[in-house]
Amino acid sequence: MKKLNIVDFIKENIDIICKIDKTSSCYNWTKNMFLNEFENKNSFFKILLSDNIVAGYIIYHIIIDEAEILNIVIDEKLKKQKLGSFLLERTVKDILNKNIKTIFLEVGENNIPAINLYLKFGFEQYNIRKNYYKNGENAILMKRQVKE
């Protein structure tokens, strides 16, 4: 069984994060975008380690009582091992422990595995942004509300 751990991003991980993003995501971020998130006081930048190897990452913001997941990516070579589920489940628990009322995210309409993952974790579609991505793909807006 793999040993999974979630740790804070450190700058020494930037090159591997950029490589994972470039090979595993079609919405590529730049190195500066990642470093800006690292510097943002509202941003949480977490790394997923699988047997002490960087397997993926998640970035989210928290502002007052809302959170927004900006990006979650698992290394292409490690997909289909439920690592995305592990990372999202732990992140949602962490966010909810901070008394957040709503978690938002957006996902490309053609990213069916991600959409199914978010649905599994209680996210619901609430809107669509037409032609949102550079390739003309629509973004599906999703949210998860905390039941009080």
Annotation says 126 is catalytic: no
66: part of which helix (H) or strand (E)? strand 66-74
Active site residue 118: yes
Query: What phi and psi, each to the nearest 5 degrees, are found at residue 146?
Result: -80, 130
Q: What is the dihedral of CA 115, 125, 57, 76, to 10 degrees?
A: 20
One of 37, 57, 68, 118 is an active-site residue; which one?
118
Nearest to 74 by CA among 51, 55, 88: 55
**In which element (H, E) is residue 67 found?**
strand 66-74
Q: What are the tokens at 61?
A: 């913001």
Q: Which of 37, 68, 106, 137 is catalytic?
A: 106
d(CA 113, CA 4): 21
Just list the catalytic residues: 106, 118
